[in-house]
Amino acid sequence: MTLTLSVVGCGYLGATHAACMSSLGFTVVGVDTDPEKVALLQSGKLPFYEPGLDTLLAQEMKTGRLSFTTDFSAVKNADVHFVCVGTPQSKDGLAADLTYVKSAVATIAPHLKDGALVVGKSTVPVGTAQALRAELAKSAPQADLAWNPEFLREGFAVEDTLTPNRLVVGVANDRAEEILKEVYEPVIAFGTPWIRADLPTSELVKVAANSFLATKISFINAMAEVCEAAGGDVTVLAKAIGYDPRIGNRFLQAGIGFGGGCLPKDIRAFMARAEELGAKQALEFLREIDAINLRARQRVIDVVRGELSQDLTQYKIAVLGATFKPDSDDVRDSPALDIAAQLQAAGATVVVHDPQGIEPARKRFPNLQYQEVVTDALKDADLILHLTEWKEYRQIDPAAISSLVKSKIIIDGRNMLDRTLWRKAGWKFHALGRTD
Ligand code: UDX
């Protein structure tokens, strides 16, 4: 008999997981405490932007296999329960806030049937799974708990869920592994590597992967700083080192650095946990990774001041991009928005454009100005900042917009625009890590 699944927490990760699992043929119930989110999902609409997921969700709702509710007792028929709630940075420190994970497991515990398997997908500090499993052994001894970290990237959520580059399961026994193999059978069938780990290792895999990615980005941004000091070009440097297969060319895009709901908070939570475990020194380097990342934002602001003036009060700056990366409407810890807000705080008039992120950005920074149309944002600008590499910004014709702005100065914070094209059209073009 096919397994029935529940997904607890229908945010970015949960909504994606629920729709994808339904598309594999499972009956899936998604539960969340937020009635607005649930109502939207139940009507087949996404509460956020993610390419391809809107269509998949609408399609799966029609099959009758997928449903969403705020009633947690609806999980009672499920064999496997995926916990997909958030673990944000806590308000008073670097550590992750585990309130939602703990409460999710506690809330479903009374509804778990005999032999049910709770599977955590949220990113948690190492040791959490073992502690939750011990809790569950008391509150619902008929059930078991495993961990199955998620590596999906925003913008590629469906692809990363249905065709991941690996599946990692943290289990305490063979039975839990067998159940998870049954769930992922269609994914395993096309050769996805399957890694069985113990509970702590599975939790560590996720934070180690994100720490490595963050390190790669900060490494190239450190090289950008050196290139600026030495008269080099970081884009050429990245290309040249990337040909070495041991290094690889991915995640070597120098610019204003990483943001989002994962990388920044995960490296901080990892440091906090290592300290608790007495292994603080091992992760000291992550402090530097974080510092390099935040410095990239300051470097852009320094270039702006160098171009305009130390006193920005008389100047209008057009900011292209608010989200932390393209093909997403996520503005959590967005370097672009942070830079926009800092410039505004310094007295500049800042007008922000983004293809998808204006509303979420407005919620966070209601005092910034926003424009839905790029050319409206550029009007009378003294300087343009290209901060999120949406495709539509690469399609801007620099000659065509010349008459809109007050001065033809652009700073490419993502090293993605065609410098030759802009210069040919008479623009002063700056990019991070490139001196000429
Ligand atoms: C990340 C991990 O990639 C994913 O595996 C994990 O599950 C969640 O966290 P995501 O947050 O969607 O995914 O974004 P990612 O594509 O990793 O980019 C993170 C940030 O790094 C973005 O702000 C991006 O602009 C920046 N970045 C990425 C760079 O500055 N340079 C690069 O070369 C790559």
What pLDDT digit, counting tens, does each position of 301-326 carry?
999 999 999 999 999 999 999 999 99
Cα of 239 from ligand 1 centre, angstroms: 19
Ligand 1 lined by 210 (C-beta under 6 Å)? yes
The CA 387 to ligand 1 mean position distance, Å, reads 14
Q: Pick the atom of ligand 1 nearest to 263's CA.
A: 9
CB-count exposure of residue 364 (10 Å: 0-12, 13-18, 19+) = middle
| Predicted confidence (pLDDT) per residue in 106-142, tens digit | 999 999 999 999 999 999 999 999 999 999 999 999 9
Domain with CATH 3.40.50.720 in the chain: 4-197, 198-436
**Ligand 1 in reach of 152 Cβ (< 6 A):** yes
Q: How confident is the model at residue 377 (pLDDT cuts 50, 70, 90)?
A: very high
Q: Whose CA is nearest to atom 17 of ligand 1?
A: 153
**What integer pLDDT is reported at residue 436 of this predicted model?**
81
Q: Which atom of ligand 1 is nearest to the CA of 251?
A: 33
- Choose among 395, 433, 393, 396: nearest CA to 415: 433
Q: Whose CA is nearest to atom 16 of ligand 1?
A: 153
> Above pLDDT 90, what percent of the chain?
99
- For domain 198-436, which architecture applies? 3-Layer(aba) Sandwich (3.40)
pLDDT (mean) for 14-31: 98
262 is catalytic: yes
- With a cut of 90, say whether residue 286 has pLDDT above it: yes
Model confidence over 227-239: pLDDT tens digits?
Answer: 999 999 999 999 9
Which CATH code is given to the segment(s) 4-197? Answer: 3.40.50.720
When pLDDT is averaged across residues 350-360 and rounded to a whole number, the result is: 97
Q: Is the CB of 251 under 6 A from ligand 1?
A: yes
Q: Sheet of 80-83: strands edge to edge? A: 66-69, 27-31, 4-8, 80-83, 117-120, 144-147, 167-170, 194-197
> Mean pLDDT, to the nearest integer, of 380-406?
98
Res. 260: pLDDT tops 80: yes
Mean pLDDT computed over every residue of the chain: 97
Any atom of ligand 1 within 6 Å of the Cβ of 258: yes
Segment 348-375 mean pLDDT: 97
Q: Which two tokens stand for residue 424?
A: 């040919």
Does ligand 1 have an atom closer than 6 angstroms to the CB of 260?
Answer: yes
**pLDDT reading at 1 higher than 80:** no
Assign 45 a pLDDT band (cuts: 50, 70, 90): very high
| pLDDT (average), residues 245-271 | 97
What is the CA(213)–ligand 1 centre distance, in A? 8
Amino acid (1-letter code) at residue 139: S
Report the amino acid identity of residue 158: V
Q: Which of 10, 20, 84, 262 is catalytic?
A: 262
